[in-house]
Amino acid sequence: MAFWFCLKHHAVEGEDGCPSKDRLGPYASEAEASRALETARERSEAWDEDPVWNDDVEDE
């Protein structure tokens, strides 16, 4: 079974939830889905610090 995090209701949902445009996922467990915003923030921070993806870093 898969789980999603609804951005509209800030709640974990199963397959029969809000439209995909309003959800993050799928996740393998309810616990993972409940951390969706935290996971997205962590990934964004990692990408911001990755020199391959960071356009602000000048080539040496």
* pLDDT on residue 54: 64
Question: 3-state secondary structure string, the chain?
Answer: CCEEEECCCCEEECCCCCCHHHEEEEECCHHHHHCHHHHHHHHHHHHHHCCCCCCCCCCC
Residue 6 predicted with pLDDT over 90: yes
pLDDT in tens, 22-50: 999 999 999 999 999 999 999 999 888 88
pLDDT for the residue 48: 85
Residue 28: helix, strand or coil by DSSP? coil
Polymer length of the chain: 60
- Tell me how far apart the alpha carbons of residues 31 and 53 are, in angstroms, rounded to a whole number: 29
Domain ranges of the chain: 3-49
